[in-house]
A = this chain, B = another copy of it.
Amino acid sequence: MAEGGSNGRSTGRSSQGFGGESLLFLTDEQLRQGIEAMFFAYRGFTADPDRILAEMSYGRAHHRAIHFINRAPGTTVNNLLTILGVTKQSLNRVLRTLISDGLVESRVGVSDKRERHLHLTENGKALEAKLSDAQRARMRAAYKDAGPEAVQGFKKVLEAMMDADMRRAYVTLRETGS
C-alpha cells in the first residue's frame, strides 16, 4: 500500500493544495496507520477475556451475549441479535449452551408469549464480572496511559466509525447505563 498501492497516491489527500482548513492531515499513510492500530488494538482488547473463556471452552460469542444480557436484563432474543449483529440461529446455539450450563435464564414473555426474556443467573453474573474486570483493567490502564484528552478523542473517532444503527444502539445503551 505504501508503495505498491496502485492508486494509493491518487487519494493521498482529501483536498488538494491548501484547501482552506486543516484537511491536509488525511494522508493515506495516516489512514493506514489508523487501520492497523484498530487491528492490533482489537487483539489486545479481546485478549484477556479470551484467555479466561478458553479455560472453560467458551468463546467470544458467549462473552458478547453475557455482556449485553447483563447490560439490559430482560432483553429478548430479538433485541440481542440486533445488537450483536448475528443471525438468530447463530445466537441461539450460544444461548442454548449458556442456558443449559445455568448461566442464563430464559423466561417466556407475559404480554407476548413468543418472546423469551433473558437474565443472568448468579453464576452468570459471576462470570460476567470476571470477564469485565479483566477487560476493564486493560482499558483502565490504556486510558491512564493516554490521558483524559486522548480518551475523548478515542470515543469520538470510534463513534464516527460506527454504522448509523449501531451508533443509535450505542447511544441508547449509554443513556440507559449512566
Q: Which A positions have Cβ atoms within 8 angstroms of B?
A: 1-2, 4-8, 11, 14, 22-23, 25-26, 28-45, 47, 64, 67, 70-71, 73, 85, 120, 125-126, 128-129, 132-133, 135-136, 138-163, 166-167, 169-170, 173-174, 176-178
Is the contact region of chain A dominated by helix, strand, or loop, or is it mixed?
Answer: helix
Extra A-B contacts (12), CB below 8 Å, given A40-B170, A145-B157 = A5-B128, A26-B143, A33-B174, A35-B45, A41-B157, A44-B162, A138-B161, A141-B160, A142-B161, A147-B156, A150-B157, A154-B158
Give the residue name and chain of the B residue nearest to A168 (CB): B40
Cα(A14)–Cα(B141), bound, Å: 10
